[in-house]
Amino acid sequence: MTSLPSHEKLKEMTLTNVTVGYDGDSIVKEASFQLLEGQIGCLL
């Protein structure tokens, strides 16, 4: 089994103040989250 490098070596992407809507209505407001290299994230 392979392992990911330690957290200190991974690239990081931070998203802040994300708002997601559908048909003119806000569903998620001002969300913030971080993704580390190798992770997959999505908002549906």
Residue-wise pLDDT for 21-35, tens only, equals 999 898 989 999 888
Task: Name, in order, each residue with C-beta under 8 angstroms of 17's C-beta and a sequence gap of 6 or more.
Answer: 30, 31, 32
Specify the higher pLDDT residue, 16 or 13: 16
pTM flag (> 0.75): no
* Closest to 28 (Cα-Cα) out of 12, 15, 9, 11: 15
Are the C-beta atoms of residues 42 and 33 closer than 8 Å to each other?
A: no
Which amino acid type is present at position 41?
A: G
Specify the higher pLDDT residue, 41 or 1: 41
